[in-house]
Amino acid sequence: MRLSRLAVVVALALPAALGAQTIDPGFTRAQVEAKFGPPVAVRAVGEFTYLFYNNGCEVTCGQHDIVTLRNDKVTDAILRGKARHYSGRSSSPPGRPHQATPASDATPAAATNGPAAPAKPQPTPGSGSAAVPKKP
């Protein structure tokens, strides 16, 4: 048990001991891995590849460090750990407050099982009754 804890501490401290590593927009996956090492997870969807890295603050930050590649070129990076930096403009800079994305905005209709359901009629304010849709 002690050995595994020590291994985790060393693995997290090693990048910091080597100094902060910086990636640039347009880097290839090979260039990113040369700077950051191998990712802990990789996900690919279409032309996008997402590289996930441990950052030591997954619990407090709420996520791994994430590097986004499009056609094998870095287009974005969300880096919360102190050992990694992105020279480009991140879609989620460190100072940005956390906020939830409403489900209706998070999932486009094309990604669901068909078109979005039509909106239900809303009550007319102050009338106490529901609005009745007009017949075509």
Q: Which domains does the chain have, with CATH numbers?
A: 2-84 (3.30.1450)
Q: Out of 12-16, 61-65, 66-70, give the one with best mean pLDDT.
A: 66-70
CA–CA gap between residue 84 and residue 68 (Å, rounded): 14
pTM of the full structure: 0.58
| CA dist., res. 80 & res. 86, Å (int) | 10
pLDDT at 111: 47
Q: Which residues of 61-82 are buried (b: 16+ CB within 10 A; e: fewer)?
A: beebbbbbbeeeebebbbbbbe
Q: How far apart are the first and last CA of the chain?
A: 71
- For residues 112-128, give the mean pLDDT: 53
DSSP, res 129:
S
Q: Report pLDDT for 21.
A: 94
Answer whether residue 1 shows pLDDT above 90. Answer: no
Backbone angles phi, psi at 85, to 5 degrees: -140, 155
pLDDT range class, residue 71, cuts 50, 70, 90: very high
